[in-house]
Amino acid sequence: MKKLKPYSSRGTGIDNFNIFLLRFSPLESKIILPYCFMLSLLSFMNVSGATINVSTIGGLQSAINNASAGDIIILADGTYVNSTINISASNITVSSATPGGVFLNGTNVIDISGNHNTFSGFQFTSGSISGVVITVSGNYNILTQLNFKGYSAQKYINLQGQYDEISYCNFENKPIGAPAGNLIHIAPDATLSGYHRIRYCSFQNMPGAGGDNGNECIRISNGATSTYVSRTIVEFCFFNNTGPGDSEAISVKCQENVLRYNTNTNNQGANFCFRNGDNNIAYGNFFINAGGIRVKEANSIYCYNNYFENCGDGSITAPVKYVYVSPNLNNINVIHNTFVNGTSIELASGASSNTWANNIFKKTSGDIFTGSTTGITFVGNIYSGSMGVTIPSGMTNADPKLVMNSDGYYGLSSSSPAIDVSSSGYPAILDIADIDDDPSLLFDISGQSRPVTTTLMDVGCDEYTTGTISNRPLLLSDVGPSYLGGPVTSAQDLNSENISLSLYPNPASQYVRIIYCLSEESSIQLVIYSLSGQVEKILIENEHQPAGNFNLSFDATDLKDGMHFVRFINGNFTKTIKLIVTK
């Protein structure tokens, strides 16, 4: 039984607000569109359109060219060869008749320059091109329910606009003979942040000899644009056996990106790499029998609430691996992580102003660390095993008393010395603007609440408490297209992703509109918290609502200037978004 720690006192009173159920013409039942927010936007704009069925690529292109906002264009199931598709229209859906029922083989060039479009349900399993399969230069587009398996191309998807999303897709078995190039490429702009999301995708079984071959599953920018601010989020993605293709499952090469809630497993030769660019974050990730995190030509990196078990191959990957390239490795912060066995953590000379705080290290054989500890401050850590290096303070030698939990990873037992003993002696965690991150460590790796007071938090990634679990190690069945065994709906069995929650405007000075979508009937709560965790407004309390799209507005003038948290609770699932109030 986990202990219950108080999160906050509850406020009283409900401000005036209005809820409007927005109506939208339903899609055909065969079409899966897991992104509720698009439906909310279309509903809000009173957009409805026609359903257009076509059976040739020429017919598809003609329908796109003549489309009106809200149109759903459905391509008949079958195999189509050597296709060129240009989507310059906006606010339309282009879909296969049944998810996965359309195979686009041979040479394919797909360009999406319009905005607010959805491209869904297609497979790419046979064919070869020398360049990019799908290029997205428009904004607010969604690529979903796609399968790339054994298709030869330099890159599969290149995102060049803003606010685009890749979700519930599978990327697998890029041929060894294909041109070198990453599977998904984010091309940031010099002045405009992209705010892209890659979520609930599977990356698996990439053949090759391993090493740094330029075939990363995801590459965010290039080294030449390392100062660009992308603000891309990679979340709830599953990486399995991609190391033979490239040692970097994710390669971050620019600034202000977030890697969270991903699972890297059965992938000893592949890590998440902060290759270039400063001010990046990794939190809530599971690294199990895989590579961990590598930091190279980067500064101001924040790694927290991550879990590492049996990580590293003793060569190119480690649970954490420093690679010093002057003048980098400044302000690297490793906070509230749990390390269980694996190869040694590889430190390096040249680090400066680094902090390792409130981590758990448990290793039954071999050294926990190798390399130089110069430039690193250790605070509040607990270890069991051979240290391998001399660390004069900030490391307590004690058995952390970890136990395997029902979600398949080691958490704290009731007698763990890691409970309630965290140190506050670490730098403030980076808070990326307009990203709903967790710089105050309000939650642990499972999504359960941590105490507001830092010194009452537990050491490691797991808080010994009770509450809603919204994150766990992913399985292949949790991600990817539904027709390949992935979730049929928006991962409602995993997290709050069976809802979409957005705030407008944000920052706000007076009225705030909350748009959300429920994929199924459920009971919800909607609460506003202060930065210190106090309840400020209860907008909805345990109200049963049907599936659909909702629009709620409330007056924020009585909230103080600064950051607040809007927390949506839907059954056993939660979603929290930052709200900035300015007056």
Cα separation, 354 vs 374, in Å, equals 9
- Do the beta carbons of residue 272 and residue 250 sit within 8 Å? yes
Q: Is the pLDDT of residue 121 over 50?
A: yes
Range of the domain at 533: 497-581
Q: Is the pLDDT of residue 147 over 90?
A: yes
CATH code where residue 520 lies:
2.60.40.1930
Residue after which a domain boundary falls, among 391, 426, 456: 456
* 216 shares its domain with 159: yes
Residues 245-250 have a mean pLDDT of: 97
Residue 511 half-sphere exposure toward CB, CA atoms < 13 A: 7
Residues 477-495 have a mean pLDDT of: 72
Q: Is the pLDDT of residue 38 over 70?
A: no
Cα separation, 426 vs 355, in Å, equals 7
Residue with tokens 């939208």: 24
Mean of all residue pLDDT scores within the chain = 87
Per-residue model confidence as pLDDT tens digits over 353-404: 999 999 999 999 999 999 999 999 999 999 999 999 999 999 999 999 999 9
* 557 shares its domain with 408: no
Per-residue model confidence as pLDDT tens digits over 264-317: 999 999 999 999 999 999 999 999 999 999 999 999 999 999 999 999 999 999
Candidate from 85-89, 386-390, 579-583 with smallest mean pLDDT: 579-583
* 426 shares its domain with 324: yes
Residue after which a domain boundary falls, among 424, 456, 488: 456
* 349 shares its domain with 410: yes
Residue 52 belongs to a domain = no
Residue 33 belongs to a domain = no
Residues 554-572 have a mean pLDDT of: 82
Residue after which a domain boundary falls, among 402, 425, 456: 456
Residue with tokens 């699932």: 573
- Do the beta carbons of residue 320 and residue 299 sit within 8 Å? no
**Residue 29 vs residue 125, higher pLDDT:** 125
* 229 shares its domain with 313: yes
* 530 shares its domain with 404: no
Give the model's pLDDT for residue 507.
80
Give the model's pLDDT for residue 509.
81
Give the model's pLDDT for residue 158.
98
Structure tokens at 134: 């799908």
Give the model's pLDDT for residue 571.
63
User: What is the tally of structural domains in the chain?
Assistant: 2
* 365 shares its domain with 255: yes
Q: Is the pLDDT of residue 495 over 50?
A: no
Residue 508 belongs to a domain = yes
Give the model's pLDDT for residue 379.
98
Q: Give the global pTM.
A: 0.81
Give the model's pLDDT for residue 496.
39
AA identity, residue 488: V
Give the model's pLDDT for residue 551.
72
Give the model's pLDDT for residue 31.
29
- The percentage of the chain sitting over the pLDDT mark of 90, rounded to a whole number, equals 71
* 121 shares its domain with 218: yes
Residue 490 belongs to a domain = no
Residue 161's pLDDT band, with cuts at 50, 70 and 90, is very high
* 368 shares its domain with 450: yes
Cα separation, 257 vs 186, in Å, equals 11
Residues 34-58 have a mean pLDDT of: 61
Residue with tokens 């459905």: 74
Residues 129-147 have a mean pLDDT of: 96
In angstroms and rounded to an integer, the radius of gyration of the C-alpha atoms of the chain is 24
* 203 shares its domain with 81: yes
Q: Is the pLDDT of residue 58 over 80?
A: yes
Residue 40 belongs to a domain = no
* 329 shares its domain with 428: yes
Give the model's pLDDT for residue 436.
80
- Which phi and psi (to 5°) does residue 5 adopt? -105, 140
